[in-house]
Each structure stands twice: as C-alpha cells, then as structure tokens.
A and B are shown apart, each in its own frame.
Chain A
Amino acid sequence: MTTLKTKQAIPAEGHLATTPASEARARHTPLVPSAGARRVWLTLLGWGIALLIFFPILWMVLTGFKSEAEAIADPSLIFTPTLESYVAVQARADYFKFALNSVVVAFGSTLLALAIAIPSAYAMAFLPTRRTKGTLLWMLSTKMLPPVGVLVPIYLIFRDFGLLDTRTGLIIVYTLMNLPIVVWMLYTFFKDLPRDILEAGRMDGASTFQEVVYLLLPLTLPGIASTGLLSVILSWNEAFWSLNLTSSNAAPLTAYIASFSSPEGLFWAKLSAASTMAIAPILVFGWLTQKQMVRGLTFGAVK
C-alpha cells in the first residue's frame, strides 16, 4: 500500500502516468473496505457456523425452560420461561440418585486412576528403563480393545462377583478404562518438567518423597488437574458400560437420560431440563481443559 501511495504522489512515473488519478484511486481504495468486508463476512460465517453447531444444545437448554405444551409446539424463540420442568425433575427424587451415582462413579474412578497412575508415570518419566516406551505403547494399545469385544466376559464376571448394577463395579471399569490415558497424560506432563529442577532439588538435599511433595506435585498440579478433569469427563459421558452393567441402583445420568427414549417418556421439557443439568458441569470442564485434552486424546501425537 505504501508503494501505491508513492506512485499516486508521483503520477508522472511509469504506467500510472497514462492512468487518470481517479482510476488509480479507484484501484487503491477498494483494498481497505474489502479487508473490512472480509472481516464482516468472516465474523458472520464463523458465528453462523458456530451457532449452527451449537444449536441443538441451545435448543435443548431453551426447551428446558418451556412448559411441556410449548416444548412440542411449533418451534419458537418467544415463550415465557418457566422453571416448572426443573422443579418437576428435581421433585423426582430418583434424579438425585442418578446424579449422585454419576458424581461418585466419575470422581471415584478418577481419584483411583490418579492414585494408581501417578507412581507409574513418575517412574516412566524420571526413572526410565529400556522398556518404558514399550510399556507406554502397550498401555495405549489396551485402550484400543473395543468394549463390545469383552462385553460378554465382563458381564459374566460382574454377575458372578455381584458387581452388576453397583457403583463399585462401574468405578472399577472406568478406572481401568481411563488408566492408560491418565498414565499417558501424566507422563507427558511430568516429562515436560525440566530435569534440572528435580536435580537441583536433589542437590539441595531433597529425598524422593520431598522431591515429589515440594517440587513435582506443585509444579505439575495444572497438568494433574486437567488429567483428572479429562478422566471425569470421559467417565461421566461413558454410555456403553453404564447401559449394559447397570439397571436401577447404580445407573448414572447417561442411563437415566436413556430411559427417556421410551415412547411413554415423551416429556421433552423435562428431558431437556434433566439433560441440561447432566451436561452443564461437563461442558464447563471441557471448555476449561480443551488444550490439555488434545494431548490426552491423541496420546501426545498432536501438540
């Protein structure tokens, strides 16, 4: 643009000499508005697509604030918001039972997985042996086992050990299901910690325990937290095992929501209210940890 301006200033130069000044300006000026227009289009397109993708969630949230009659009426953004569906869902005591199951199972399995994975990831990151890489890859490969492939034996084992429809059973399954991802993520977070810092700690006289408590844990806390959140999200949303291994006592929200699929459960506003409550916390967790999630979900292959 600078060159264009100079050329305008010296109309005698080059081919511009034959071009009327007005035409030169006409060729120059559109550059600025077109950049602005591009921005407007980009904004419209970006927001348009984002809202389109988000629309089903938005619609669900809105429907949760409608009455049942409005919910199945012609779609409309104008309605009198009401909390009656939320009240109705809360009034059904069993909603809390399912929500509590979800909380207990998701957080229980996450804590258990962290407790098992932290020593393992510590050893892999700071006391690596020749087998460490192989172990990591093997752990990753256990995650590739399709759950449906082992449905039958797990079902039978659970039946024989009285674990069917128990929270303990689900916690066990989710812990093992998420363990490879948790180990893997912690390993990459630990690995990112400069070795020098732990060595400086050792030079300063820290024992292994002090090294972990004073240096490793505080420095990798954000990583541990996002690993934990990912594990919570995955457990919370898991629907294969929860549908197949629980029926009423230990069923988490995924199974509870599924019960709305029967034709007699055609209460859209209540379904929406219950669903909104079921996904809201996880949605927030997901938004908070998107960056770190990529690391965990792709096993560090995409950074």
Chain B
Amino acid sequence: MSKTRASGRTVGGLRSLSLQAPAVTLLLLWMLIPLGMTVWFSLQRYNLLMPGMEGFAGLENYEFLFTDPALWRAMGNTLLLVGSVLAITVVGGVLLAVLFQQEFPGRGIARVLAISPFFVMPTVSALVWKNMMMHPSNGVLAWLAGVFGLPAVDWFSSLPLTSIIIIVAWQWLPFALLILLTAMQSLDEDQVEAARMDGAGPLAIFFYITLPHLKRAISVVIMIEMIFLLTIFAEIYVTTSGGPGLATTNLAFLIYIQALLDFDVGLASAGGVVAIILANIVAIFLVRLVARNLES
C-alpha cells in the first residue's frame, strides 16, 4: 500500500524532473562552465599576446589587480555611477509614480511617453544624448544655455561621469516609474479614504500610507537596478570609451579593456571574479526577498 504511494510520487517526480531537465541542464552549464573557467583563468598567467608564457600564477593576478590604482578608480566610478543613478531613479520614480497616479486628461498617453526611454536600446540612447543633447556646439542643451546667455558645457570632457549618470538615469528612471506605478495601483483606495477621514492631508497620506506601501517595490527596484548598473557597458563604450583618462571607466569597462584590448585573460578574469562577488552580495538579498514573496 505504501508502495503505491511511493511509486506514485516517484513517477510524478520523474515526469516533473524530465520536463524541467532541458532548462535546468542548460542553465547549469551556462553558469558552471564559464564561472569555473573565470575562476581558473584568474589563477593563471595567461595573455593572448604573449603565447608560451602560460602557467599557474596563484594569486598574482589578484595582487596585480588590487595594487593597480585603475581598479580602485574603476570601483569608485562604479560606486558613484550606481549610487547616483539609484538616488535619481528611486526618488524621481516615487514622485513620478505619485504624479501619474493622479487623474488628469491624457494620463494614459503621458504615462506611455514617460516610460518609453526604458525600451530604447542603450546604444541609441547613449548616442542621442551624446550627439543631439549634449554636443558642445550643436546639442540642444548647448543651444538652451545660449538662449539663457550661459556658456555651453562640454559635457563629456568637463563632466564625463555626470554625463554618463544622466544618460543611465534617463534610461532607468522609467523602469522605476513602471514598477512603482504598478505597485501603486495595488494600494487599497479604502485605506487612503480612511486616512483622509482621519484628517490626513496629502503629505501625511504620502508619508504614512503611500511610501510604506511602496517599500517592497522600492527595494525590488533598488536591487534589480543595482545588478544591471554594476555592469553598465554600452553607454560608456559608445560615448567616452572610459575616458578621458579613467574618468568614466567602471569595473565592467576595465575588465573589457583588460580582456579584449590588452588580451590579458588572467587579469580580466580576476576582475570578473570581483564583479561576480559584488553582484552576488546584492543578489543574495534580492533572491531572499523574492523567496519570501514566493511563500505567500
């Protein structure tokens, strides 16, 4: 009798497993092989430009990496980029979500316009900003400055990282808006009305009702953006190429330089390991949050 049960379960389990097998196997390979190789290469002396020099390097690559001021510069840039974009998009996203939650004519279209930048491919948005917005002589911003009698700013040479931050924030603000607006719609209208009956003004409603309701969505936005922002690449690649100097080189771009320009596989891999560790610190929190949500 207990046999029927056991076999019943295994048959169901086997069927479930075999249906999942392709996806699971592929992802396992996709994760483990490159990950293993990255870790392995990071311990090797391996430069494609210097064949015959390969060999075990121990922690040499890491030593070199960590004593290289470029890494610290890149880390600093990464942090500044991630932090600024997060601040802009989260604060802006909350405010915009509140705005676009209000009833006004054409709200639907206005919303669609406001979230559009998120669907623009990064190379296009970077080039549009670089050429048509921020160009020191022909850009819209330079023209605007001229209208107000201000000197034009040469964005990418005098404020390179700020320029990158503006472009990336422009792409990700709509993401925050989209998520927060969706979260906002699940706010119980009765709760707001009850608060209003209790004498809460618009500010009190925002701080005591809306913001707490958005807490979870905000943390999701922060974590997902962090993971993507840590490895911003295309925007830098098409605008500044990491320069001037190292002014806009972030971790991702540094690894790219080491790997595909200097062909130093070992060093680039060590950088890759650092990037993976950084991303995983964030990922742990995100996975935990999603897991908690999966329970309910």
Contacts and interface: CB of A to CB of B under 8 A. Distances in A.
A243 B234 contact: yes
Contacts of A233: 119
B155 interface: no
Nearest to A139: B27
Contacts of B276: 145-146, 149-150
Contacts of A119: 19-20, 22-23
A298 B102 CA distance: 24
A120 B22 contact: yes
B231 A147 contact: yes
A261 B238 CA distance: 6
Interface in B1-54: 12-13, 15-17, 19-20, 22-24, 26-27, 30-31, 33-35, 37-38, 41
B174 A53 contact: yes
Contacts of A144: 227, 279-280, 282-283, 286-287
B233 A46 contact: no
Contacts of A124: 16, 20
Size band of the B side of the interface?
35 or more
A127 B140 CA distance: 57
A50 B113 contact: yes
B273 interface: yes
A214 interface: no
Interface in A12-45: 39, 42-43, 45
B290 A300 contact: yes
A301 interface: yes
B115 interface: yes
A3 interface: no
Query: Which secondary structure characterizes the binding site on chain B?
Result: helix
A266 B135 CA distance: 11
A116 B23 CA distance: 6
Size band of the A side of the interface?
35 or more
Given A39-B104, A144-B280, A148-B255, A153 B34 contact: yes
Nearest to A63: B132
B55 interface: no
A156 interface: yes
B132 to A, nearest CB: 6
30 contacts: A42-B104, A43-B105, A47-B106, A50-B109, A56-B132, A60-B128, A60-B132, A123-B16, A123-B20, A133-B294, A135-B20, A137-B291, A144-B227, A144-B280, A144-B287, A149-B275, A150-B35, A151-B260, A239-B122, A244-B256, A253-B121, A254-B234, A258-B238, A266-B131, A272-B132, A283-B120, A290-B112, A297-B179, A301-B293, A302-B183
Interface of B: 12-13, 15-17, 19-20, 22-24, 26-27, 30-31, 33-35, 37-38, 41, 96, 99-100, 102-107, 109-133, 138, 140, 143, 170, 173-175, 178-179, 182-183, 186, 216-217, 220, 224, 227, 230-231, 233-234, 237-239, 251-252, 255-256, 259-260, 265, 268-269, 271-273, 275-276, 278-280, 282-283, 286-287, 289-291, 293-294
